[in-house]
Amino acid sequence: MDFLGRVTASLRTHRPRWVRIQAPDSWGRYVRPETGEAAFHVVLRGDAVLTTAGGARLTLGAGDVTLVTGAGDHLVSGGTTVGGRASWPALDFGDRPYRLLPEADPGATPTAHAVREPTSLLLSGVFRLDGKDAHAPPVELPEMIRLAAGPEQEASVRGVVELLRHEAARPGPGDGVAPDPGVDAVTGTLLDTLLLCVLRSWSREHGARTGWGPAVYDPAIGRVLCAMHRSPEQPWTVERLGALADLPRSTFARRFTESVGRPPLGHLTLVRMNAGAALLRDTDEPLSAVAQSVGYASEFAFSTAFRREFGIAPGAYRREPGIRVA
């Protein structure tokens, strides 16, 4: 797996949750991501308006893909809906599909429009992201990433959106008819692929001095990062890592720090701590075995490094794995 693949795999910690929105008239639903979640909206037909809590409005057309990572609560709506209408309810990701008919919306009067063919079709949902994982260089994603439909949109994104459009047209659970087998599984896999495509497209274009752009597209640094994350237990030194990058020690250390935002051994410590946290969370291995698995000769040395990096002892983290390390 290349470095961008590892970044995406580390960020995405749970299966995405989503609903299929079918809306024939004015409609609106609030999206309220939980801490550590990023919302997404894929417009498959028609259009929609995304209104942030601060009042900014973004019109989305068919084929547009939007990832909302930092705007918090926001409204997605369509038709003649006025953004910011407080009476609209929140999306319920347990309800699939989500038919937004006039009589289901607050203040609307039931009309014949309720049986009209939906004019808008969207997939909206959330990814659970964990930006504290060491696989991701310490760079903040922008509050919103929008990949607009059109010739500038990457072919891979267009391809995934088209496949999602085909799956959305198939009957799924909750449609009132026999569902096509595997609709949910295929849609979830495609949404995972879409996240990778969105991050790849953004990383190519963003101009941050440090972070994914330089790290992903620098073959020498990317090679070192993959080795670190694949084998954190190895006795890595700056000399060994520099040799892997085929660079002199001082040149490698400077280039790595400029690209990733931490010096090589500082980033290695974070890699090891996150690997240790995963073992504490997901296994019953004794602390001594966890320490050895991530490159520490003693339980004490691992515990000291873990507490220094995350502000919590390994044992306390194991008892309450829901605590977000910082």
Assess if residue 248 is contained within a domain.
Answer: yes
Which of 67-81, 101-115, 144-158 is predicted least confidently? 101-115
- How many domains, in total, are found in the chain? 2
Query: How many angstroms separate the CA atoms of 40 and 324, rounded?
Result: 23
Tracing tokens 């660079």 back to the chain, one arrives at: 247
The last residue of one of the domains, among 205, 226, 252, is 205
Q: Are 228 and 268 in contact (CB under 8 A)?
A: yes
**Rg of the chain in Å (alpha carbons):** 23
The reported pTM is 0.68
For the stretch 29-46, pLDDT in tens is 999 888 778 899 999 999
Q: What mean pLDDT is predicted for residues 205-217?
A: 61
Same domain as 283, residue 170: no
**Do residues 198 and 242 both lie within one domain?**
no
Query: Band of the pLDDT at 178, cuts 50, 70, 90?
Result: low
In a domain, 212, yes or no: no
Asked if residue 108 has pLDDT above 60, the reply is no
Residue at 200 is within a domain: yes
In a domain? residue 112: yes
Beta bridge partners of 125: 18, 40
Q: Cβ contacts of residue 135 below 8 Å, gap of 6+?
A: 6, 7, 9, 10, 11, 229, 271, 274
| Averaged confidence pLDDT in the chain | 81
> CB under 8 Å to 286, separation ≥6 — which residues?
none
pLDDT at 176 over 70: no
Q: Are strands 144-147 and 57-61 parallel, antiparallel or unpaired?
A: unpaired
Residue 259 has pLDDT above 90, yes or no: no
Q: Is 93 within the bounds of a domain?
A: yes
Same-domain status, 173 and 278: no
Q: Who contacts 34 (Cβ-Cβ below 8 Å, separation ≥6)? A: 126
Look at residue 133 and tell me whether its pLDDT is greater than 70: no
pLDDT at 118: 65
Provide the CA 125 distance to its chain's centre, in angstroms: 11
Residue 52 in any domain: the answer is yes
Domain boundaries, position 262? 218-319
> At 268, phi and psi to the nearest 5?
-60, -40
Give whole-number Cα distances, 73 to 33, 147, 289, in Å: 7, 20, 42
Decide which of 118 and 160 is more confident.
160
Say which CATH number the domain at 36 has: 2.60.120.10
- Chain-centroid distance of CA 14 in Å reads 9
Note the pLDDT tens digit of each residue in 268-289: 998 899 889 888 988 899 999 9
Name the residue with tokens 């640094």.
221
pLDDT of residue 101: 62
